[in-house]
């Protein structure tokens, strides 16, 4: 009887670790199209290279809509219209197995590029604005993904 309980516990641990390292996927809505004359700024969103959560996809949100999955060591660029935008990250898990989300608000000005980095934390992940110097160093180690 003890052996069966031990086997059940071992399988539970393997299952939890598998989910933690592989993450979960889902359908993502297409990136909202912005007309050439309307797109005046740009946002580059990158994810840290970390062992923790390395197999988990994070969902990136723009103005409340899911726009992409991003894995460790990836980045992408998205054109934005001038004005205020909410850029966020969400994932399932952390110390409590529910959806968690972190969002930052930024203002896009004409002919500007803003850079954001996503980092895992104990709850899920956080997103923060970084300066051009830090972004340049991080982008050298990152793989670009192209959004459709």
Radius of gyration in angstroms for the set of CA atoms belonging to the chain, rounded to a whole number: 18
pLDDT at res. 94: 67
Q: Report the alpha-carbon distance of residue 38 to residue 26 in Å, rounded.
A: 30
First to last CA, the chain: 54
Q: Report the alpha-carbon distance of residue 50 to residue 126 in Å, rounded.
A: 13
pLDDT at res. 52: 63
Are the beta carbons of 134 and 106 closer than 8 angstroms? no
pLDDT at res. 30: 47
Domain that holds residue 12: 2-144
Q: Report the alpha-carbon distance of residue 144 to residue 77 in Å, rounded.
A: 8
Number of domains within the chain: 1
pLDDT at res. 69: 92
Mean pLDDT of 99-121: 92
Residue 121 has pLDDT above 90, yes or no: no
Phi, psi angle pair for 147, to nearest 5°: -90, 145
Q: Report the alpha-carbon distance of residue 146 to residue 148 in Å, rounded.
A: 7
Residue 124 has pLDDT above 90, yes or no: no
Residues 24-71: tens digit of each pLDDT: 433 344 455 454 456 689 999 999 876 666 667 899 999 999 999 999
Q: What is the DSSP letter of 68?
A: E
pLDDT at res. 104: 95
pLDDT at res. 24: 40
- Determine which helix (DSSP H) or strand (DSSP E) holds 134, and give its type and residue range: helix 132-140
Read off the CATH number of the domain in which 123 is found: 2.60.40
Give the SS3 label for residue 118. strand
102 or 49: which leads in pLDDT: 102
Q: Report the alpha-carbon distance of residue 3 to residue 25 in Å, rounded.
A: 35
Residue 108 has pLDDT above 80, yes or no: yes
């Amino acid at each position: 009887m003890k052996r069966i309980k031990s086997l059940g516990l071992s399988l539970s641990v393997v299952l939890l670790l598998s989910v933690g390292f592989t993450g979960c996927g889902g359908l993502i809505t297409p990136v909202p199209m912005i007309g050439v004359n309307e797109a005046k700024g740009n946002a580059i969103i990158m994810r840290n290279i970390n062992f923790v959560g390395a197999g988990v996809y994070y969902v990136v949100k723009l103005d409340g809509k899911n726009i992409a999955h991003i894995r460790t060591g990836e980045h992408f660029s998205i054109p934005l219209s001038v004005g205020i935008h909410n850029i966020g990250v969400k994932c399932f898990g952390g110390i409590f197995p529910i959806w968690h989300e972190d969002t930052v608000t930024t203002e896009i000005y004409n002919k500007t590029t803003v850079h954001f980095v996503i980092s895992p934390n104990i709850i899920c992940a956080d997103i923060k604005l970084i300066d051009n110097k830090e972004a340049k160093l991080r982008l050298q180690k990152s793989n670009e993904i192209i959004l459709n």
